[in-house]
Structure 1
Amino acid sequence: MQSKDLLQLAEQFGSPIYVYDAEKIQSQYNRLTKAFSKVDKLRINYAMKALSNVAILQLLKDMGAGLDTVSIQEVLLGLHAGYAPEKIFYTPNGVSLEEIEEVNAMGVQINIDNLSILEQFGTKHPNVPVCIRINPHVMAGGNTNISVGHIDSKFGISIHQLPHLVRIVENTKMNIVGIHMHTGSDILDIEVFLYAAEILFDAAKNFKNLEFLDFGSGFKVPYKKDDIETDIEELGKKLSKRFNAFCTEYGKELTLIFEPGKFLVSEAGFFLAKVNVVKQTTSTVFAGIDSGFNHLIRPMLYGSQHHIENISNPKGKERFYSVVGYICETDTFANNRRISEIKEGDILCFRNAGAYCFSMASNYNSRYKPAEVLWLNGEGHLIRARESFEDLLKNQIPLPIAATV
């Protein structure tokens, strides 16, 4: 997308606003499938927690994607978007047996990540096809909040508990059809990923009726110029060869599954916000925008960097600004960042705003959540209306008059 298109959308739909480029999502999906074209049975399950707008789900469904879900509500959204139950994987963490059983009744593929629930579910439902999430104890990913395969992680069944896991399966006579792992997000070293894959291959040998191996995802995308990213093409060559060899060894052609979220939608997203005020202090120039961490929390939560550009004055002289929000706490998006000269009323564009941005938005300070627009075939389509005061009140119940006397 070009800056003029983004400016036009900000004018048309107001700010702040999220914009997603459909063509970029499609190209990332095609890039991943091409990288693993040597694998006969490949399945891409979009990790919808990254961006769960129904229009985005429909876009990926039309390309052939399945869904990776982590809650019963995400499952319901997926079904609402038109996904067949068998195209939806459900990988919760720390949920009740009752929720898992409710999702199972919908015909969705269950993925269980702890021994207690595994034994309970297997005892009650031995014939249900189940996937097992393994924790390979491999530290991969960026920020510790998104590195989930290490030894102290709450996610998955420890690979060191494999004998116990096998015993539960044998005792309950469960139907295990898949093995799953996810080491974390922002993986830089594909050799670490391949090392974890070997652990998954070894674990898979303990189960004779597998249909698939699910390698999760966590592929890193670039957030700034010359930023390092996961070499998907190199990973495709190496893992495809090893996966095909394992299938031969296993004696059965399995399906290779990935669960990309950020890889598919991060670079497709743009967050546009208007500059409310330019404030000079003794040492800093602040650019205060009509947003805050209620709309985009990643810089504050993860220390992540989003490239910011002034699309109202792209060729202006660069100055140093700290870009901040309007929340009643410190909500700094960038410290002393070089940006083209900013004036009040300018539109700033945050790049890489497609993943874990709107999906983590809130109504903190009773602010409205922004609108979302999909740029498709050279045209902006509103896919979520901006919230209003009525939305804030929708589920609130005031006290009866008598109770306030």
Structure 2
Amino acid sequence: MTKDKLIAIANEFGSPVYVYDAEKIVSQYQRLTNAFKSVKHLKINYAVKALSNLSILKLFNSLGSGIDTVSIQEVNLGLAAGFKPEQIIFTPNGVSLAEIEEASKLGVQINIDNLSILEQFGTKYPSIPVCIRINPHVMAGGNSNISVGHIDSKFGISIHQIPHLMRIVENTKMRINGIHMHTGSDILDIDVFLYASEILFDTAKQFKNLEFIDFGSGFKVAYREGDIETNVEELGKRLTRKFNDFCKAYGKELTLAFEPGKFLVSEAGIFLAEVNAVKQTTSTVFAQVDSGFNHLIRPMFYGSHHDIINISNPKGRERFYTVVGYICETDTFGNNRRINEINEGDILAFKNAGAYCFSMASNYNSRYRPAEVLWYNDKAHLIRKRETFDDILKNQIEINFQKQKEAAISK
């Protein structure tokens, strides 16, 4: 998308607004599938939590993708988007047995990462196939909040608990059809990923009737010019070789599964916000935009980097700005960034805004969540309306305090 097209979108749909490029999503999906084209059975399950808009899910459905879900609500979103139950894997963490049962009744693939829940589910439903999520105790990923395979992680069943896991399976006679791991996001070193995969293969050998092995995801994308990203092509060559060798030794062609989110949608997203004010202090020039961490929390939550570009003045003289929001908290998007000269009313574009951005948005400070637009077939399509004040009030129930007072007096 050109800067002129982005400006036109901001003018048509207002600011702030999320914009997603369908062509980039498709190309990332094809890049990943091409990297593993030598695997006989490959399944890509898009991680819904990254960006859960219904139109985005329908786009993935049209590509032949499955989906990875972490809540019963995401399962129902997938069904609403046209995915068949067998195209959905349910990989929650810390949910009740009742929620897992609810998902199971819908016919989706269940993935369990807790010994207690595994035993309860296996005892009640031994014939329902279950995938097991293990924790390989391999530290991978960037920020500690997104590294989930380490020894202190709440995710997965420890590889040191495999004997206990096997006893549960034997006692309940439950059916295990998949093994899964996820080490974390922003994986740079594919050797670490491949090391974890060997642990997964060793675990898989202990189950005789597997249908698939799920290697999670966490592939890193570029956040700035010259940034390092996961070499999925190299990973594809090396993991394909290991996987195919494993299948030969196992005596059965299994499905190799992934559940990417950020890799597929991060770079496709751009967040547009208008500059409300430019404020000069003794040492800093602030560009204050009509948004905050209520719309884009990742820089404040993870310390993540999003390139910020002034698309209203792309040829202006570069100056240093600290870009902040309008929330009554410290909500800094970027400190001392070199950006083309900013004036009030300019539109700033935040790159890599496709993953874990709108999906983490809130109504903090009673602000409205923004609109979402999909750029598809060289046209802007509104795929979520901007909220209104009615949305803020929608589920609130007022108490008539005068009536309550009169009732108390009458008693």
TM range (shorter): over 0.9
Cα deviation 1:170-215 (Å, max 9, x = unaligned): 0100100000000000000000000000000000011000000000
Indicate yes or no: 2:363 matched with 1:363.
yes
Residue aligning to 1:260: 260
Residue aligning to 1:64: 64
Q: Give runs of aligned pairs for residues 164-183 of structure 1, distance below 5 A.
A: 164-183=164-183
Residue aligning to 1:319: 319
Indicate yes or no: 2:298 matched with 1:298.
yes
Between the aligned partners of 1:319 and 1:403, the Cα distance in structure 2 is 59
TM-score by length of 1: 1.00
Residue aligning to 2:120: 120
Residue aligning to 2:333: 333
Residue aligning to 2:39: 39
Q: Which amino acid aligns with 1:289?
A: V
Structure 2: runs of 5 or more not aligned: 407-411
Residue aligning to 2:347: 347
Between the aligned partners of 1:191 and 1:5, the Cα distance in structure 2 is 41
Residue aligning to 2:282: 282
SS in structure 1 at match of 2:32: helix
Between the aligned partners of 2:205 and 2:305, the Cα distance in structure 1 is 41
Cα deviation 1:353-400 (Å, max 9, x = unaligned): 000000000000000000000000110000000000000000000003
Cα deviation 1:209-261 (Å, max 9, x = unaligned): 00000000000000000000000000000000000000000000000000000
CA RMSD of aligned residues (A): 0.6
Between the aligned partners of 2:25 and 2:198, the Cα distance in structure 1 is 30
Measure how far apart 1:403 and its partner are: 2.3
Residue aligning to 1:395: 395
Between the aligned partners of 2:48 and 2:295, the Cα distance in structure 1 is 18
Q: Which amino acid aligns with 1:370?
A: P
Residue aligning to 1:101: 101
Between the aligned partners of 2:261 and 2:82, the Cα distance in structure 1 is 19
Between the aligned partners of 1:163 and 1:237, the Cα distance in structure 2 is 33
Cα deviation 1:143-175 (Å, max 9, x = unaligned): 000000000000000000001101100010010
Residue aligning to 1:74: 74
Between the aligned partners of 1:163 and 1:2, the Cα distance in structure 2 is 56
Residue aligning to 2:3: 3
Between the aligned partners of 1:184 and 1:215, the Cα distance in structure 2 is 11
Residue aligning to 2:269: 269
Between the aligned partners of 2:69 and 2:405, the Cα distance in structure 1 is 43
Indicate yes or no: 2:91 matched with 1:91.
yes
Q: Give runs of aligned pairs for residues 23-38 of structure 1, distance below 5 A.
A: 23-38=23-38
Residue aligning to 2:409: none
Between the aligned partners of 2:340 and 2:107, the Cα distance in structure 1 is 53
Structure 1: runs of 5 or more not aligned: none
SS in structure 1 at match of 2:24: helix
Measure how far apart 1:338 and its partner are: 0.3
SS in structure 2 at match of 1:61: helix
TM-score by length of 2: 0.98
Say how many residue pairs are matched: 405
Measure how far apart 1:53 and its partner are: 0.1
SS in structure 2 at match of 1:337: strand
Between the aligned partners of 2:244 and 2:182, the Cα distance in structure 1 is 20
SS in structure 2 at match of 1:272: strand
SS in structure 1 at match of 2:238: helix
Measure how far apart 1:77 and its partner are: 0.5
Indicate yes or no: 2:140 matched with 1:157.
no
SS in structure 2 at match of 1:30: helix
Between the aligned partners of 1:302 and 1:380, the Cα distance in structure 2 is 30
Between the aligned partners of 1:101 and 1:302, the Cα distance in structure 2 is 33
